[in-house]
Amino acid sequence: MYPLFLDLTGRRVVVVGGGRVATRRVGGLLEAGAVVHVVAPSVTDKLSALVGQDSVSWEPRGYLPGDLEGALLVHTATGVKGVDAQVAWDAAAAGIWCVNAADHARSAAWTPTIARGEGAAEGIEVAVTAGGDPRRAVRVRDAIADLLAAGGLPTARFRAAR
Ligand X SMILES: C[C@@]1(CC(=O)O)C2=NC(=C\c3[nH]c(c(CCC(=O)O)c3CC(=O)O)Cc3[nH]c(c(CC(=O)O)c3CCC(=O)O)/C=C3\N/C(=C\2)[C@@H](CCC(=O)O)[C@]3(C)CC(=O)O)/[C@H]1CCC(=O)O
Ligand Y SMILES: NC(=O)c1ccc[n+]([C@@H]2O[C@H](COP(=O)([O-])OP(=O)(O)OC[C@H]3O[C@@H](n4cnc5c(N)ncnc54)[C@H](O)[C@@H]3O)[C@@H](O)[C@H]2O)c1
Q: Which residues bind ligand Y (CB under 6 A)?
A: 16-22, 39-43, 62-63, 77-80, 83, 101-102, 134
CA distance 19 to 130: 24
In the complex with ligand X, the residue whose CB is nearer, 60 or 143, is 143
The window from 10-18, 29-37, 132-140, 152-160 that contacts ligand X (CB under 6 A) reads 132-140
In whole angstroms, how close is the CB of 48 to ligand Y at the nearest point?
A: 10
For position 14 contacting ligand X by CB under 6 A, the verdict is: no
Binds 107, which of ligand Y, ligand X, none (CB < 5 to 8 A, cut-off by type)?
ligand X
Confirm or reject binding of residue 110 to ligand X (CB under 6 A): yes
C-alpha distances in Å from residue 100, one per residue of 34, 85, 120, 124: 18, 8, 36, 27
**Spatial CB neighbours of 121, under 8 Å, sequence gap ≥ 6:** 148, 149, 151, 153, 155
CA distance linking residue 58 with residue 145, whole number of Å? 34
User: Residue 27 or 134: which CB sits closer to ligand Y?
Assistant: 134
SS3 73: strand
